[in-house]
Amino acid sequence: DQQVKQNSPSLSVQEGRISILNCDYTNSMFDYFLWYKKYPAEGPTFLISISSIKDKNEDGRFTVFLNKSAKHLSLHIVPSQPGDSAVYFCAAIANFGNEKLTFGTGTRLTIIP
Amino acid sequence: EAEVAQSPRYKITEKSQAVAFWCDPISGHATLYWYRQILGQGPELLVQFQDESVVDDSQLPKDRFSAERLKGVDSTLKIQPAELGDSAMYLCASSPMAQATGELFFGEGSRLTVL
C-alpha cells in the first residue's frame, strides 16, 4: 500500500522556468510533509517541509504547497537552475513523529540549460 | 560540517555470503535509522534506534538481517545470507532525537550488489 505517491517518474524543465513536482498521499493522519533532494551516489538531503496546519511554506526559490482536502502537495522551484537536477522525494510523517517517515518513489528532475 | 559516515560505499558479493555495513552518525545524535532503497523506489525504513535500543524493526527481515548499536553511537547492519533481492542502496540516517518533523541527516549510502 503506497501511502505517498509521486506519479511522475521524471520531469524536464528549461533553465529559468518553474519546476513543479507533485505528490499525493492517502493517510489522513500525516501531519508533517517534507521534500528531500538526492544527487547520484549521495544520500538524500532535507530540502523543505510543511506542517499540516499550513498551506504554504517558502524558502528562497523553493515553495511547498499543501492541499489537505485533496491530499496533495507540490514543490515549486523558481527559477530552476542546472544544480536543481536531482531526484526529489516527497515524504510524510504521522502522529508527531511517533510513526515512521514514509517516502514516495521519487521524481527525477532534469533542468535543461 | 558534521556528516553521517558509512562504509563501505560499494559492496559486491555472491548469493549466500554474509555482508556488513557500518554507520557512524553525527556526534550527539541519539536516533539512528537504517533505510533500504531499491532502484526506482523511495527509501524504506528497516530499523530505528533510540540510543542503543531498537524502537522500530517491524520491516527488518529478521531471518537474515540483524542490526546493532551496542554503545548507542555507531551501528552495524548485517545480512546473512545475502539474496539476489537484497541488491539495493543501504542508507543510514541520524537525528538529534526521534524527529517529530521527519528531518533526518543521511549518509552517502552503501550500494550492495548481490550476484
Q: Please give the angle made by the CA atoms of B28, B30 and B32, to the nearest 5 degrees.
A: 115
**Between residues A28 and A2, which one has the greater pLDDT?**
A28
pLDDT of residue A2: 80
Instruction: Choose among B32, B13, B33: nearest CA to B86.
Output: B13
- Sort out which chain A residues have CB atoms less than 8 A from B40's CB and list them: 9, 105-106
Long-range CB pairs of B62-70, under 8 A, 24+ apart, other chains included: B67/B34, B69/B32
Mean pLDDT of all residues in A75-94: 96
Q: Report the percent of chain B where pLDDT is more than 70.
A: 97
Is A43's Cβ below 8 Å from some Cβ in B?
yes
Interchain contact A93–B (C-beta under 8 A): yes
Mean pLDDT throughout B89-104? 84
Please answer yes or no on whether A93 and B101 come within 8 Å at the CB atom: yes
Q: Going by C-beta distance under 8 Å and a sequence separation of 6 or more, which residues neighbour residue B62?
A: none
* Beta-carbon contacts of residue B24 (< 8 Å; ≥ 6 apart): B4, B5, B6, B73, B74
Q: What is the mean pLDDT of chain B?
A: 93
> Alpha-carbon distance A38 to B108, whole Å?
10
B39–A contact, CB cutoff 8 A: no
Q: Out of A62-66, B55-59, B89-93, pick the least confident.
A: B55-59
Contact A105 B40 (CB under 8 A): yes
